[in-house]
């Protein structure tokens, strides 16, 4: 049974609407949050729909871990890198910030060595942390501001210097939130004292061991969208924080797939905020939590579907390579290229092949010369030749 939104009950039965609200708000398991949503104290219930959703997410996470465990060699690293490129591209695309996949890939490849500040460097560095299982300190409003500065401030200033944070920590003036059609759908919290107070409450929730970690992700995601602490960059900040929190509770790959699902469900995403913000909803954030965690489940189902399909292809083409080639080291090199072709973003150089297979560069070149010409796909990145398996060969 679908969780009944209070705003829908309002139009069905006014007396029943008040009773339903009182029952939910005063239930012993209800979590009350001292943040006002258009005059109503926010609260969260624990309906069976939410419990079932959490159960399904943890089941899907187990399946994802099993799929990842079955990957060999460079497949997982290349797939995570590809998902990282997707996530950064899409989180910017949702905000109307144009970036190319090549720009993101090149920056990922050099971000650790480069010390000069480049566009997107902070965003890339932060998302790389997810796969490294690094911890991000979030115990105060100052911590949130520090993350914002490192993550998107440079890009925000490049887009419009007037959007620089001008308050003690956040912004001091009002700001509106526009939907996909550029119509105003929400006004951020004002003044800054309220922003700070509400963000403090979010941070308390973030560190509350009594609340399920996945529920915390959804609750905090809603409130950052509702509070809108900065003039610009809130969406990118919010999706990063959600990705980070998801990566701490579930497989890190889940943190690299959130923007994909939000992008494909963008109308529902904005509508969910609108439903939760409705005064007739009287502060019940449960609908948002359910729908947002539904997005998380969809992300995981999509990941598992893609991985299952690629793992099956890997097994199939590996068998074909073994039927075609007899030299063991050549088979090892082709299996490396096969993994990269199925899971990666671009081809491998001869130097990379030599390093991974532990043979000399000249041996790799000899193997390439001996192979049927249409077995390999050759592309270029600058002066470098990149090699992939031509799957159509089989």
Rounded to the nearest angstrom, the gap between the alpha carbon of residue 262 and the centroid of all alpha carbons in its chain is 9
Predicted TM-score (pTM) of this structure: 0.89
Categorize the per-residue pLDDT at 246 as very low, low, confident or very high, splitting at 50, 70 and 90: very high
The answer on pLDDT for 183 being more than 70 is yes
At 135, is the pLDDT very low, low, confident or very high (cuts 50, 70, 90)?
confident
Q: Where are the alpha helices (DSSP H) in the chain?
A: 6-12, 14-25, 48-69, 75-94, 101-110, 121-131, 141-148, 154-159, 192-206, 213-227, 234-249, 258-264, 266-277, 286-324, 328-343, 350-357, 361-370
- Give the model confidence (pLDDT) of 267-281 as tens digits: 899 899 999 999 999
Statement: residue 115 has pLDDT above 60 = no
Question: Residue 145: what pLDDT?
Answer: 97
Q: Which pLDDT does position 118 carry in this prediction?
A: 55
Which fold, 325-393?
Arc Repressor Mutant, subunit A (1.10.10)
- Exposed (0-12), middle (13-18) or buried (19+): which is 295, by Cβ within 10 Å? buried
Measured distance CA(67)–CA(164) in Å, rounded: 43
Neighbours of 339 (CB within 10 A): 26
- Whether 109 shows a pLDDT value over 70: the answer reads no
User: What is the per-residue burial (b if ≥16 Cβ within 10 Å, else e) of 139-168?
Assistant: eebeebbebbeebbbbbbeeeeeebebebe
Report the distance separating Cα 82 and Cα 205, nearest Å: 32
CA 383, 385, 391 angle in degrees (round to 5)?
155
Instruction: List where CATH 1.10.3290.10 sits in the chain.
Output: 6-302
Average pLDDT over residues 316-326: 92
- What residue spans in the chain does CATH classification 1.10.10.10 cover? 325-393
Of 7-16, 218-227, 328-337, the one with minimum mean pLDDT is: 7-16
The architecture in CATH of the region 6-302 reads Orthogonal Bundle (1.10)
Instruction: Give the chain's length.
Output: 394
């Amino acid at each position: 049974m679908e969780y009944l939104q209070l705003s829908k009950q309002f139009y069905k039965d006014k007396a029943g609407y008040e009773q339903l609200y009182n029952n939910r708000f005063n239930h012993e398991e209800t979590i009350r949050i001292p943040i006002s949503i258009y005059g109503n104290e926010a609260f969260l219930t624990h309906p069976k729909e939410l419990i079932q959703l959490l159960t399904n997410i943890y089941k899907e996470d187990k399946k994802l871990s099993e799929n990842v465990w079955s990957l060999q060699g460079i497949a997982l690293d290349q797939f995570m890198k590809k998902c990282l490129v997707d996530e950064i591209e899409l989180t910017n695309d949702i905000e109307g910030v144009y970036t190319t996949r090549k720009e993101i890939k090149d920056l990922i490849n050099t971000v650790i060595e480069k010390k000069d500040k480049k566009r997107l460097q902070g965003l890339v560095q932060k998302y790389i942390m997810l796969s490294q299982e690094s911890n991000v300190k979030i115990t105060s409003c100052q911590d949130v501001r520090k993350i914002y500065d490192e993550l998107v401030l440079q890009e925000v200033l490049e887009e419009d210097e007037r959007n620089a944070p001008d308050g003690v920590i956040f912004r001091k003036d009002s700001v509106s939130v526009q939907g996909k059609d550029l119509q105003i759908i929400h006004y951020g919290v004002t003044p800054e004292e309220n922003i700070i107070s509400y963000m403090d409450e979010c941070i308390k929730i973030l560190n509350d061991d009594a609340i399920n970690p996945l529920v915390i992700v959804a609750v905090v995601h809603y409130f950052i969208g509702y509070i809108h602490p900065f003039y610009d960059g809130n969406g990118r900040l919010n999706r990063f924080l959600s990705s980070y929190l998801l990566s701490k509770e579930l497989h890190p790959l889940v943190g690299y797939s959130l923007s994909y699902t939000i992008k494909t469900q963008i109308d529902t995403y904005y509508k969910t905020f609108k439903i939760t913000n409705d005064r007739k909803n009287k502060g019940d954030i449960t609908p948002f939590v359910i729908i947002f965690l539904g997005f998380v489940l969809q992300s995981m189902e999509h990941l598992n579907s893609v991985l299952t399909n690629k793992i099956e292809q890997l097994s199939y083409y590996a068998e074909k390579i073994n039927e075609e080639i007899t030299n063991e080291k050549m088979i090892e090199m082709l299996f490396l290229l096969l993994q990269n072709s199925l899971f990666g973003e671009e081809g491998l150089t001869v130097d990379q092949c030599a390093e991974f297979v532990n043979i000399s560069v000249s041996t790799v070149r000899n193997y390439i010369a001996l192979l049927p010409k249409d077995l390999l796909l050759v592309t270029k990145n600058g002066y470098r030749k990149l090699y992939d398996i031509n799957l159509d060969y089989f």
